[in-house]
Amino acid sequence: MQTQPILEGNRLALSRLLTQVENDAPEGRSALAKLFPHTGRAHLIGVTGAPGTGKSSLVNQLTLHYRKAHQYKVAIIAVDPSSPFTGGAVLGDRVRMRDLSGDDGVFIRSMASRGSVGGLAQKTAAFVQVFDAAGYDIIIIETVGAGQSEVDIARLAHTTIVVEAPGLGDDIQAIKAGILEIADVLVINKADRPGVENTERALRSMLELAHPTKRIIHHHGRMMTLEAPVTDAPLWMPPILKTIATDGTGIPELAEAIARHKSHLHQSGDWASRDRARLRSELEAVLEEELMSRYLNGSHREAYEQALEKVIRREWSPYEAVRALLNGK
């Protein structure tokens, strides 16, 4: 596959390549390899939060702002738990198309969350590389939902925005706690609704609780392999912003907070360390998949199937089976 049209921003070529990458076609892999040296420039922004917070409208408004105020090229990757029945045509998409279609500086692509989580994070990472190489200044990774997989995907980003809304029900408390540790910017959307003060107070007290250990916690989980964090770098305290995405209130302030976070990342050395952590986990994921596929497609297949039968008959536990397979017992 020719990669020159991609580098020049040809939309049709871009669209074709994304499909090849999504289908894990060999042409996609070889194009990715050719494009990879051209990556590393885009600002990756993750947007996550519980259902009903109005994330999609917020992303639309932010994109419109970037287009009008800065003429940035913006790509949106919407990671979307659509089912095979609906074919991914969720309600938000129609609103999105109305607001943003017809602008050549915006590229929107949905990705269904069928299949394994690992696969999804890996494909999202590959999409990011394609848009980065194609010269998009801003790449927004929007995830519907607030589970661990969404958190993993948001962690691909340089700047993670967690969206809340007033009064979303009782176990929202738990979600907030789990997701706060990845937030660089907190947004209370639908800020014209009742209960906004309560939401803000709750977020603020959780943030203050989190503050002393913020830097350590930031490098948890998938980020555990991150090398030597810069210890005397300035601390980043996630700001809490209020927006009303439907009428654009608070959007310029949000763009401003994101820009400040970007400067902070560069000053503190975190831009480089996040880049490093992201590439390390991408490399690990590809290696893991390839090791497994070589094992199962090689001469071990029969032994593996026999081991599985023993597990099903409860003669071996899965751990015993793996030990026997790998030690050739």
Binding positions for its own copies, 60-119, rule CB under 8 A: 80-86, 90-92, 113-118
CB of 135 to its own copies, least distance (A): 15
Measured from the CB of residue 58, what is the shortest distance to its own copies in angstroms?
A: 12
| CA distance linking residue 54 with residue 303, whole number of Å | 51
Q: Which H or E element spans position 45?
A: strand 43-49
Under the binding rule (CB under 8 A), the answer on residue 149 touching its own copies is yes
Closest contact distance (angstroms) between CB of 256 and its own copies is 26
Choosing from 256, 288, 301, 306, the residue that interacts with its own copies (CB under 8 A) is 288
Burial of 246: CB neighbours in 10 Å, binned 0-12, 13-18, 19+: middle
| Token couple for 301 | 């297949």
Cβ distance 111 to 77 under 8 Å? yes
Q: Does the protein bind its own copies through residue 311 (CB under 8 A)?
A: yes
Q: Is 173 in the site for its own copies (CB under 8 A)?
A: yes
Quick one: which of 134, 150, 156, 191 contacts its own copies (CB under 8 A)? 150
- The arrangement of strands across the sheet holding 138-143 comes to 106-112, 74-80, 138-143, 43-49, 159-164, 185-188, 240-242
* Residue matched to tokens 């109005």: 54
Task: Name the segment binding its own copies (CB under 8 A); options: 62-70, 192-200, 249-257, 278-286.
Answer: 278-286
Q: Across-strand partners of 107?
A: 75
**For residues 89 and 93, what is the distance between their CA atoms, to the nearest angstrom?**
7
Under rule CB under 8 A, residue 7 binds its own copies: no
> Using the rule CB under 8 A, is 280 a contact of its own copies?
yes
What is the length of the chain?
A: 329
Least gap, CB of 86 to its own copies (angstroms): 5
Is 286 a binding residue for its own copies by CB under 8 A? The answer is yes
The answer to whether 110 and 78 have CB atoms below 8 angstroms apart is yes
Shortest reach from residue 112's CB to its own copies, in Å: 8
Q: Does 202 bind its own copies (CB under 8 A)?
A: no
Q: Which of 192, 193, 211, 212 is nearest to 203 (CA)?
A: 211
Listed ranges 29-37, 156-164, 231-239, 257-265: which one lies at the site for its own copies (CB under 8 A): 29-37
324 binds its own copies per the rule CB under 8 A: no
- Nearer residue to its own copies within complex by CB, 71 or 297: 297
Task: Tell me which residue has tokens 């076609």.
Answer: 25
Backbone angles phi, psi at 137, to 5 degrees: -75, -40
- Mask of contacts with its own copies, 205-244, x by CB under 8 A? -x--xx--x---x--xxx-x--------------------
